Structure 1
Amino acid sequence: MNRLSIIIPAYNEEKTISLILDRINEVKLIRNIEKEVIIVNDCSTDNTETVIQNYISCNTNLTINYFKYIKHDVNQGKGAAIHTGIAQATGDYLLVQDADLEYDPGEYNTLLKPILLASADVVYGSRFMGGNPHRILFFWHSIGNRVLTFLSNMFSNLNLTDMETGYKLFRTAIIQRIYLHEKRFGFEPEVTQKISMVPGIKIYEVGISYYGRTFAEGKKIGWRDGFRAIYCILKFGLFNNKLIAESKKMAPVQQAAS
């Protein structure tokens, strides 16, 4: 493994985007893996674009090897921004990093260990396992996350503890072939159902920290997205007839040497 692509979907994140870039810049990946950062600005209405451009032009001592900045002309949703980032990724693996400060880039190496030690194809970072710090927030949100994970596991036949996690690490060659439809927060249940259908895929889960935000602090997901997630689990778990973008069948995953 030589390069990790880090996709940052950003919508009105002027207050935190430079901070998250600083944290990514501070991370030294194990085995000297290169970092490719792909920022997808989903037509922000604040100064997100200016902050990003100033950051790239004013910082000359970056440990980030490759920078890509893409802007949507129309707001399409977080899932659509992730789709754009996936298409642009050139790393051996890729992950999604929210532009807020809920997830810690310092834990990239934790996510990478199953890749390097066990040739994993997908690694989920679980907020509900391990002894890492977790901000105490809303009881019903945690219950909702567990219910959605339970339903997802029923149809995917996986035993994940946190389907809705924002930290998902994928082998790029696999995720770029999967047809993804959901343009908002339905990305999480859709991609989970679809990767579970890839023959021979190796999925791991590791414990991560979680520094959650309240709605007053800028959190965007709401109860409607929860119902959409249930719809996506049923839709893609029961009636998914388009898994692969290029062909109808995917050969069993070939395990590459790490």
Structure 2
Amino acid sequence: MERVSAYATNPESNNFEKFEEPAVARSAERSERSVPKKPLVSLVTPAYNEALILEKNLTILCEYMASLEDEYEWELIVVNDGSRDNTGALAELFARKHSKVRVVHHEVNSGMGQALRTGFDNALGDYVVVLDMDLSFAPSHVERLLDKIRATHADVVTASPYMGGGKVSNVPFIRLMLSVGANWFLGFATKKKFTSITGMARVYDAEFLRSLNLRSKGMDINPEVLHKAALLEARVEEIPAHLRWIPQNDQPKSKRRKSSMTTMKILKHTWAIVFFGFLFRPVMFFVIPSLLFFAISLYSLGWASIHSWTSYQFLIAQGAIATTFDDRISQAVAQAFQSSPHSFVIGGMALMIAIQLFSLGVLSVQSKQYFEEVFNLGTAIYKSTRN
């Protein structure tokens, strides 16, 4: 065995005595320094009344993450969002058997956004991956998301079933149309070609994620993240994904009730989508309608002008009493208004609305610029405070 020599003072003899120290410890220390540290991945999954599928799906997730251990360290954070069944107890029991699983509890149901924020606050990883507990996006998406974010050095990578190569299975038609419409609308609002802005299956660069002061408590947390990423000019990428819902007949009864309950929240979710569309691009809520009203005013006032010109020609042909040009024009307009008052009324009102909306559009652009300046300043302060 290789050994290294050293000298130490013997306090009794005041002489130097030679002794030998094994080189194994130092060799191992050098070896550890030469081996790159594997990134730590925090997998966050919210859970609300998931008792019937919890243990099975957590087992699937743990087995899958274990298959990535050659490349990644990992931890699994389960956020029990105030479940009314025994989800919390089952999650704790599972965590006691698996050292890499941690459970965080909400006393009451606080919403998807708050559950994710809690998970983010407890994540220790270099990357934070989010999946739904029902595994509507299969665990195999995790490795693909991680490969993409490491290859592109992006801040966020989303799994999109709506881009080329993506796929959707078993999603009810109405829900699918609402989702596609919402993502198209938000994609248009952001002026980016993102196909999935509301989706939850994502991977985040942890440093970037910790720089965000998130406020949403519901499902609108997903567009909020991308809105703030756009303000910070962060890099966002997408990968094609397969969104697969479990058929209703194959779901436990409690899960069927949950699906019907979420359907009742469609209006609230729709409002959140419209609101974030406004935040992304407020000018389109004013300028586009103003152009529409301006076109209506041109059409109506055009017909009013034609009627006035026809009346003027008629007065000239009949030998009008009025001798001055201004008097003849006034009489012509008065006759045109009597014959077609709606052209004047609609045209005038549409023109006033168009001017007001356009003015609000200009003000919204100015306000958005001020907001972005304040947001960037606030983000810098928030980051320094957290650090």
TM-score normalised by the chain length of structure 1: 0.84
**Structure 1 position 135 matched with structure 2 position 140:** no
TM-aligned CA deviation for residue 237 of structure 1: 4.9
Native 8 Å contact 1:185 1:229 kept in 2: no
Whole-angstrom CA distance in 1 between matches of 2:69 and 2:230: 28
Native 8 Å contact 1:193 1:237 kept in 2: no
**Structure 1 position 148 matched with structure 2 position 182:** yes
TM-aligned CA deviation for residue 94 of structure 1: 0.5
Per-residue CA deviation, residues 153-188 of structure 1 (Å, 9 max, x unaligned), is: 233232111212221111111111112111011112
TM-aligned CA deviation for residue 89 of structure 1: 1.1
Q: Which runs of 5+ in 2 are unaligned?
A: 1-37, 249-254, 283-367
Query: Taking every aligned residue pair, what percent have the same amino acid on both sides?
Result: 23
Find the partner of 1:208 among 241, 262, 265. Answer: 241
Whole-angstrom CA distance in 2 between matches of 1:230 and 1:4: 33
TM-aligned CA deviation for residue 4 of structure 1: 0.9
Find the partner of 2:89 among 50, 67, 81. Answer: 50
**Structure 1 position 218 matched with structure 2 position 258:** yes
Per-residue CA deviation, residues 67-105 of structure 1 (Å, 9 max, x unaligned), is: 321111222111001011111111111021111131211
Q: Which amino acid aligns with 1:155?
A: A
Whole-angstrom CA distance in 2 between matches of 1:30 and 1:148: 37
Per-residue CA deviation, residues 213-258 of structure 1 (Å, 9 max, x unaligned), is: 45726335331222322223324654666746653698xxxxxxxx
Which of these two proteins has the greater Rg computed from alpha carbons? 2
Q: Which amino acid aligns with 2:242?
A: S
Native 8 Å contact 1:12 1:44 kept in 2: yes
Native 8 Å contact 1:97 1:167 kept in 2: yes
Per-residue CA deviation, residues 47-75 of structure 1 (Å, 9 max, x unaligned), is: 10121122122x3xx5xx63321111222
Native 8 Å contact 1:11 1:42 kept in 2: yes
Q: Which amino acid aligns with 2:85?
A: D
Within 5 Å, give how 1:22-33 maps onto structure 2.
22-27=59-64, 28-29=67-68, 32-33=71-72
> Could you say which structure has the higher helix fraction?
2
Whole-angstrom CA distance in 2 between matches of 1:217 and 1:207: 30
Whole-angstrom CA distance in 1 between matches of 2:281 and 2:117: 20
Whole-angstrom CA distance in 2 between matches of 1:182 and 1:236: 15
Find the partner of 1:198 among 222, 226, 232. Answer: 232
Whole-angstrom CA distance in 1 between matches of 2:164 and 2:143: 15
Native 8 Å contact 1:156 1:192 kept in 2: no
Which residue in 2 is equivalent to 1:230? 274
Aligned pair count reads 244
Q: In structure 2, do the counterparts of structure 1 residues 246 and 197 end up closer, same or farther at CA, with 3 Å as the change threshold?
A: closer
Whole-angstrom CA distance in 1 between matches of 2:217 and 2:89: 25
Which residue in 1 is equivalent to 2:302? none
Q: Which amino acid aligns with 1:189?
A: P
The worse-fitting range, judged by mean Cα deviation, of 140-149 and 241-250 is: 241-250
